[in-house]
Chains A and B, each alone.
Chain A
Amino acid sequence: MKLRFSGILLGVVALLWVGPYAWMVLTSLRTLPEIVAAPAWPIPKSIQFDAYREVLTAIPVGRYFLNTTAMAVAIALLQILLALPAGYALAKLHFVGKKVAFALVLACLLIPAQVTFVPVFSMLGPIGLVNTFAALVLPFGVSALGTFLVRQALLSVPDEMIEAARLDGASELRIVYGLLAPMLRPTLASLFLFSFVFHYNDYFWPLVMTTDDDVRTLPLAVALLREQGTGVRWHIVMAGNVILSLPVLALFAAVQKQILRAVTARVG
């Protein structure tokens, strides 16, 4: 009895969350006349890849994907690169103004991109940086959360270790990137994944910072597939959707554990 109930529950939950994906894929495999004739009939008459073909010819998917990935990777790497020395200073070194510096970093957690985009835009505009890769990457070069997490992780590294390295003659940067970074691998991996997924999916910032085809990202391009005026061609939009979602879903399937840790690492 109990088993049956939990079975039903499992089915319902699976249907609610897997169903929409299935619907997306099914729609993308149909043709427009078929959809117009019976929009909600689940089974395609025959599997058609026309929609994918059309998406691939209508927009340079490869370039957009590359743009998006390069942007997300660059942001994630830059964040790690900058968070390490900053976190080291905040966790391990004594200096005047440390408390204030830490408080200021934390304060940035409160300032979302939605608050700053207008001035950033009008700042980057006159110096010709709007519509560039730089406008997509630099504003996210520092993650306040990332700096915070790196600092927390470094707190648990014993001072003696660093002192020993110093005695061996290692420079401070060598200590940060050569000694501490490898010790923090799980934290950094989480940070990387979290940042990558967030920026790969980001719609807001690329939307307001770019107008040019050269730097357009995949989410923007897919949103534009829903063309106005002469009827939404849902099979094409859904094909675009599949193309957009598949890489992150694959990444998720591959490194589910790390992603889950990245998310839960935010507690506390």
Chain B
Amino acid sequence: MKPKRPLDPYLFLAPTALVLGLFFFWPLALVFKNSLYRWDMLTPPEWVGAANYGQILASGELWGTIGRTLSYSVVVVVLSLGLGLGLALALDRPGKLYAFVRGAVFSAYVVSWVAVALLWMWILDADGGLLSTLCRAVGITPKNWLGDPAVALYTLAAVSVWKITGYSMVIFLAGLQDIPRSLHEAAALDGAGPFSRFLHVTWPMLRPSASFVGTTSLILSFQAFDVVRVMTQGGPVKSTTVFVYAIYEHVFVNLRVGRASAMTVAFFVLLLGLTALQLLSWRLGKPGARRA
């Protein structure tokens, strides 16, 4: 449509442009700039060129952080996706009881990360915690869930899975609702068993949902922070220092804004890469759905 007055569209977009410019694009440019300085926020910044990048590469910090963030994210995404799909299939039934359980699973997604992290800290407490006590009761030696460098990252991942499985379940449920009954009926008439019906009818129809949930949860779990900050502060040793926490620690604990900015640039590039992956998987996901 033609705007009533030629300037209208620009005026309508102006507030949005102002906020986005001020709080997204301009800061992003500043991050690039800051990454070339050494700055502690208290004294004037000092130009150091690419030294910050050199440092995070040479110290192995960048790769270590990417590695930890990836392991955490992969565990979270794979488990929450699998579990979410399983629950969606199992709970896609009428009845109040099923609705309640669906609601319960999803409610964890609505509750704040802080509450979830504190709650699980108490459940996972190495000595008085519920889980360790249950383990002892059945004769298993409990692990030091949050205190063992080899275990802590996966403990955090498990807590995150508990929190976000409801999300993927809900998306899968919505996907399931979109599958016409007639498809199932036709397949059943053809003599297909439940497993082959899932493989040939349900799954192809759910593929777009799966790639959507997969990529969004991947990007979200890359941004994990709260759960780390509350439960482990990046430790023990550095085992749970994921990307955002590393950036936070550089800024607020070590007062190294330059190094933090270099890490942020790396983080941003990584997110861009993941988004490219997302677009790709959507494109791959869609024709698959059509074929079914």
Query: Which residues of A line the B interface, CB within 8 A?
Result: 6, 9-10, 13-14, 16-18, 20-21, 23-24, 27, 35-36, 39-40, 82-83, 85-86, 88-90, 92-95, 98, 101, 104-105, 108, 110-112, 114-116, 118-120, 122-123, 138-142, 144, 147, 159, 162-163, 166, 172, 176, 197, 200-204, 207-208, 219-220, 222-223, 226, 234, 237-238, 240-241, 244-245, 248-249, 251-253, 256, 259-260, 263-264, 266-268
Kindly supply a per-residue 1/0 record for chain B positions 139-177, scoring 1 wherever the CB is within 8 Å of any chain A CB and 0 otherwise: 000000000000000000000001000110011001100
Residues of chain B within 8 A (CB-CB) of A111 are 24, 28, 268
- Give the CA-CA distance A19 to B109 in the complex, in Å: 15
Partner pick for B1 among A35, A123, A138, A159, CB 8 A cutoff: A159
Q: Which of A35, A85, A237 contacts B128 (CB 8 A)?
A: A35
Closest to A78 in B: B19
Partner of B261, one of A118, A147, A234: A118
> Of the candidates A10, A95, A116, A263, which one forms a contact with B24 in the assembled complex, judged by CB atoms under 8 Å apart?
A116
> A92 contacts which of B1, B28, B275 (Cβ < 8 Å)?
B1
- Name B27's contact: one of A16, A123, A138, A266 (CB within 8 Å): A123
Q: How far is the CA of A170 from the CA of B223 in the complex (A)?
A: 45
Least CB distance, A238 to chain B, in whole angstroms: 7
> By the criterion CB–CB under 8 Å, are A6 and B90 in contact?
yes
Inter-chain contact B12/A89, CB cutoff 8 Å: yes
Q: Is the CB of B23 within 8 A of A93?
A: no
Given contact pairs A104-B20, A118-B251, A244-B112, A17 touches B104 in the complex (Cβ within 8 A): yes
Report the separation of the CA atoms of residues A266 and B130 in the bound assembly, to the nearest whole angstrom: 37
Q: SS class of chain B's interface: helix, strand, loop or mixed?
A: helix
CB–CB B24/A23 < 8 A? no
A-B contact pairs, 9 of them (CB 8 A): A83-B16, A85-B11, A89-B9, A89-B12, A118-B261, A138-B19, A245-B112, A260-B174, A267-B174
Cβ contact within 8 Å between A119 and B26: yes
Knowing A105-B20, A249-B107, say if A237 contacts B122 (CB, 8 Å): yes
Contact of A252 among B91, B107, B115, B267 (CB under 8 A): B107
Residues in B lying within 8 Å of A, measured CB to CB? 1-4, 6, 8-13, 15-17, 19-20, 23-28, 30-31, 34, 41, 87, 90-91, 97-98, 100-101, 103-115, 118-123, 125, 127-130, 133-134, 162, 166-167, 170-171, 174-175, 208-209, 212, 216, 223, 225-226, 229-230, 244, 247-248, 251-252, 257, 260-261, 264, 267-268, 271-272, 275
A119 touches B119 (CB 8 A): no
CB contacts (< 8 Å) of A104 on chain B: these are 20, 25
How many angstroms between the C-alpha atoms of A9 and B83 in the bound complex?
A: 13
